[in-house]
């Protein structure tokens, strides 16, 4: 199910909210790569903190120490091309979309379309930082993790990251629902 207008609204909302919150953090909290960030807000003791850190890599800083060529190729060029392709699938006008070869098109349910829209919005939010902010992606939400998985604090994240996590969650829910539906239909046959 393609709903280009809804997809565009979700994508743009995520990008705008992400970039506005990052701009606010950059304005309110000085960034210092050499000292531990000072929170401007703490909630629940130190459970939730708003800080200013930068990430030159991807998820959990993966790739931050790669050579520049790998970093540019694997964290900027390839993801940007993928994001542009996914955005085309979601928001291209029907006339143009139907001219795309069938093997390059996807049939998505409403939930998959919404999930993919959140993922694309989050991807573009962080891609803007990767391209325009030489010090890295702005992360600012810092949560205590109480030693789970050996982590005292969860890796710091931002609104774009939350949109991607929401997308993955929606995809998982969709797959669980689809599997339950398939099993019910198989019982009735």
> If we measure between CA atoms, which residue out of 171, 157, 166 comes closest to residue 118?
166
For residues 127 and 18, is the Cβ–Cβ distance under 8 A?
no
Rounded to a whole number of angstroms, the CA Rg of the chain reads: 19
- Find the DSSP H helices in 2-109: 4-28, 68-72, 78-91, 94-97
Q: Verify whether residue 161 is a known catalytic residue.
A: yes
**Which residues partner with 144 through β-bridges?**
153
Task: Name the catalytic one among 18, 129, 139, 142.
Answer: 139
Task: Name the catalytic one among 18, 129, 142, 161.
Answer: 161
Q: Which two tokens stand for residue 89?
A: 């699938």
Q: Verify whether residue 139 is a known catalytic residue.
A: yes
CA 138 to chain CA centroid, Å, is 13
CA distances 28 to 22, 101, 168, Å, are 10, 48, 31
The dihedral sign for the CA sequence 8, 12, 14, 15: positive
Please identify every residue annotated as catalytic.
Answer: 139, 161
């Amino acid at each position: 199910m393609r709903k280009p207008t809804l997809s565009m609204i979700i994508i743009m909302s995520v990008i705008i909210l992400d970039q506005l919150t990052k701009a606010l953090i950059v304005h309110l909290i000085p960034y210092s790569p050499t000292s531990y960030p000072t929170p401007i807000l703490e909630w629940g003791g130190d459970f939730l903190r708003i800080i200013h850190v930068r990430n030159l890599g991807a998820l959990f800083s993966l790739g931050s120490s790669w050579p520049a060529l790998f970093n540019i190729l694997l964290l900027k060029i390839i993801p940007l091309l993928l994001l542009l392709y996914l955005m085309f699938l979601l928001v291209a006008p029907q006339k143009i979309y139907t001219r795309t070869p069938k093997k390059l098109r996807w049939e998505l349910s409403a939930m998959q379309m919404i999930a993919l829209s959140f993922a694309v919005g989050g991807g573009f939010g962080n891609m803007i930082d990767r391209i325009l902010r030489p010090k890295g992606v702005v992360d600012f939400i810092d949560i205590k993790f109480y030693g789970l998985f050996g982590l005292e604090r969860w890796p710091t994240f931002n609104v774009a990251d939350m949109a991607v996590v929401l997308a993955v969650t929606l995809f998982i829910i969709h797959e669980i629902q689809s599997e339950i539906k398939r099993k019910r239909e198989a019982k009735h046959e």
